[in-house]
A and B are shown apart, each in its own frame.
Chain A
Amino acid sequence: MAVLEARGITKSFGAAPVLRDVDITIEPGEIVALAGENGSGKSTFAKIVSGTVAASAGTITLDGVLLPAGSPQQAAKSGVGIVPQEISGVPNLNVAENILLPLNHSLLGVRVRPHGLAAVRPLLDRLGVSVDLDAPFHSLPASQAVLVELARALVTNPKLLIIDETTAYLERTAASVLLDVLRGIRDEGVAVMFISHRLREVQELADRTIVLRDGSLVGELSRGQSTPDRIARMMVGREIEVHKRGQTQTSAKPRIAVENVRLAPAAEPLSLQVRPGEVVGLTGLVNSGCAALLDHIAGARPLSSGTVRVDGAEISKPGIRAALAAGIVLLPGDRQKEGLLLDGSMTSNIMLGARPLLSWVGLRRETRTARRFISDFGIRPNAPARPARMFSGGNQQKIMLARAVRREPAVLLLNEPTRGVDIGARADVYRVIADSLRNGVSVLFYSTDMHEVIELSDRVLVLYDNQLAAELTGDQITEDNISRYMGGGQ
């Protein structure tokens, strides 16, 4: 009998469907890989199985028992273990306490003394991680933290283990140790669901590969068929128009020069330059400092040291307004929290910040300006008065881009410009970036999507632990190089 039987799983956030009628079964002792682009629904599916998200329709059966929708406790009790995409350990508990968390239910905030300590050390040894059991979780580097989370998932002896992008945090050797561990777990009869962007790992590990595209299951490949090329073709479905640029203009003077900016008190200071019409990609693990760097340059966070110059002129005053005046415009990474007035109309979102406090706002003129961007950017539906809340993620992103481009920036800082954006809107976002470049704008963008970084960037800066780990140009821009430096390798 199958361990996992998911039938007709459908999920939509607002009007945007994320999963459409997906059926997946996993047998005991089988590793099934889920492949798909960002936003294809892989992680949402993992969250539905582990109960943190409730499906809109469909059923999850584990070992023949129907799981109630949206109950992580029940899912865990029934034998689902998950290592989620975002590191989620309790920062102030130590390693042992974190690992034993699923076994120790504390009530009313009273912490029950961990039992089962004896089992922890062998578990960690098996994962090839040497870490102090008493160290607080927040002191661990990401590469160790994810392995502690894996140990936490394993401590309950799950029937189904879900691994969501865990290897993204690991350097090559640690990742291959992890793959061996997963094979061992499989051989004990556990079902494993493996999600990774690294298609070579998928090829190496998976007994079966299931490909999702835009929320639908588009195909299944058995071991031997699942070459990276073939998976990638199924993932994308059609060719996306992204011209690989890579033509570095060495002649022009830098548009923006960032010098000796320190991202953390102990970190090495960091400098970078971007020339007009050049795209520089920033990438690194979560909390590697990429997003913080963009915030510092944009004035959203104060600089503790260093300078930012635009066309040779130093920005002397701190703060966002000075940076905006110099032509530095930031596209925030979190649409909901930092970007949109969700209850505000599309027009008021596009025009946000356009007018000084003491000015008369012509509503019809505003609408006319907004309409120009709406048609230029292909925002659907074409309804300037509709609240931003009622647009899909991709269109919300285009609204934010319209706001940024409206300011006629000299430097565009983009934080995850295509996070949670479907494939069509993604092409629109790339087109907007290309148009800006043609107008001589400098683009510095941060993305965790490695393909995007490789395809868009003239140069790639890899950050590790709040420091610059590598600067890659031309042929150096490869998946191997980026993931090695991302994980702290040399």
Chain B
Amino acid sequence: MTERARETVPVAAPAGGLAPRADLPETPGGGPDGAARLRRGLRALQTDHLGAIIAVVALIVLFSVTVPDFFSTRNFTDTADTYSVFLILTVGVTFTMLCGGMDLSIAGVDPLAGLILAELLAHGYSMWLSVVIVVVGAVLFGICVNGFLIGVMKVNFFIVTLGSLTALEGLALQITQGSTLLVSGHRFLSNLGNTDFGIIPLDGLIGLVCLVLGILVLRYTGFGRAVYAVGGNSEAARLAGIRTSLVTCLTYGISAGLAAIGGIIEVGRLGSAGPSTDATIGLTAVAAVLIGGTAFGGGKGSMFGSFIGVIFISVLGSGLLIAGISTYLTELITGVVLIVAVAADRFRRARR
């Protein structure tokens, strides 16, 4: 019944003059001038991410009107600080999801990376060496455990990453016996969470750098194109000579490595490393990716979309926080809004 499914393929342009990117008039001669390219880029942005952008703007307006102090540089800086790690994790998850998988284990890698960093520092390793060991170790874990099982052994990604999430959480608890390790005396680390450049905090800047690198890798490298190809149709990619297993492995390496960077930043911000952070952070990152328009199954979507998803979730979180809504109610509201946001986006796309 694939044929019948094809019937629902959007053909007509939606109302309101928002033609799908594909239907844009072709500029003759192949070299579009700057203005045309800008227009084209804007339109592409509108069609791909219109729903999410409208939702973000609406949220910002809503909170700005109803919550005093929301629309302020102070809050901007705080929010960017709080959600920088979340952005970094989401960049990693975007790779795995575009490639047709998903990585829930980041919520386990993130605290464990911080713990191992703390242990290494406690044993007298230099700060930089410790950071390198932790990040490289996480990348190898992502490639050799998650990546190998999913990309080579073809075990279902959900099972694998849920299993490794649980195992890593257990490992973290075993190492610490449930207690928290203090980390102090490392200038760079303590600067991580406590330095601002104007209104942008250092960790937010690191998040942005990760995001930009993610966008560049996905759009402009052979690997990035291969991620889309494997997610879109892995058999076609294989027959075209792409090393699909390797590509899949690498995406899990990237997501684990970024999760480790996130864990390191958290250690710097808190001055300590504990066995557990929020275990749902992996799922929330998945939600951000979905809000950003990347489909389950992969092959379709973008890193920029994920960024919009992160903004949406962080605006929602900080707005509710400043408004003084209780954390219980915040969770309830966040859950409902996530479902509505993803559902609305899918509905809009299905109609197109």
Contact = CB atoms under 8 A, between A and B. Distances in A.
A109 interface: no
A136 B272 CA distance: 67
A361 B222 CA distance: 6
Contacts of B229: 341, 344, 348, 352-353
B220 to A, nearest CB: 5
Contacts of A54: 4
B246 A357 contact: yes
Interface in B219-267: 219-226, 228-229, 232-233, 235-243, 246-247, 250
A172 interface: no
Contacts of A345: 22
B246 A13 contact: no
Please tell me the size bucket of the interface on A.
Answer: 35 or more
A348 B228 contact: yes
B7 interface: yes
B30 interface: yes
Contacts of B11: 14-15, 390
A320 interface: yes
A14 B8 CA distance: 7
A356 B330 CA distance: 46
Interface in A96-132: none
Interface in B1-34: 2-4, 6-7, 9-11, 21-24, 26, 30
A363 B4 CA distance: 33
A362 B6 CA distance: 31
Interface string B266-300: 00000000000000000000000000000100011
Contacts of A13: 3, 6-7
A183 interface: no
Nearest to A13: B3
A344 B240 contact: no
Contacts of B295: 343
Most A Cβ at <10 Å: residue of B23, B24, B222:
B222
Interface string A21-48: 0000000000000000000000000000
A388 to B, nearest CB: 9
A14 B5 CA distance: 9
A344 B226 CA distance: 11
Given A13-B7, A337-B235, A353-B241, A360 B221 contact: yes
B9 A386 contact: no
B225 A355 contact: yes
A233 to B, nearest CB: 30
Contacts of B238: 300, 320
B104 to A, nearest CB: 24
Contacts of A389: 6, 9
B225 A339 contact: no
Q: How many B residues touch the partner, as a band?
A: 35 or more
A186 B34 CA distance: 71
Contacts of A300: 238-239
A367 interface: yes
Contacts of B241: 320-321, 324, 353
A53 B220 contact: no
Contacts of B225: 348, 351, 355, 361
A368 B29 CA distance: 10
Interface in A373-414: 382-383, 385-387, 389-390, 403
Contact of A385 (B21, B220, B243): B21
A54 B4 CA distance: 9
Contacts of A344: 228-229, 232, 299
A419 B225 CA distance: 28
Contacts of B299: 341, 343-344
Interface in A192-208: none
Contact of A357 (B235, B239, B247): B247
Interface in B127-149: none
Interface in B199-226: 219-226
Contacts of A352: 229, 236-237, 240, 242
A332 interface: yes
B12 to A, nearest CB: 10
B23 A383 contact: yes
A405 to B, nearest CB: 13
Given A332-B239, A351-B225, A362-B220, 16 more contacts: A321-B241, A332-B236, A336-B2, A338-B236, A339-B233, A339-B239, A342-B232, A348-B228, A353-B242, A355-B225, A357-B222, A357-B247, A359-B221, A360-B222, A368-B30, A382-B26
19 contacts: A14-B9, A53-B4, A320-B238, A337-B236, A342-B232, A343-B300, A348-B229, A352-B240, A353-B241, A355-B222, A356-B222, A357-B226, A357-B243, A357-B250, A359-B221, A361-B221, A361-B224, A383-B23, A386-B23
Interface of A: 12-15, 53-54, 56, 298, 300, 320-321, 324, 330, 332, 336-345, 348, 351-353, 355-364, 367-368, 371, 382-383, 385-387, 389-390, 403
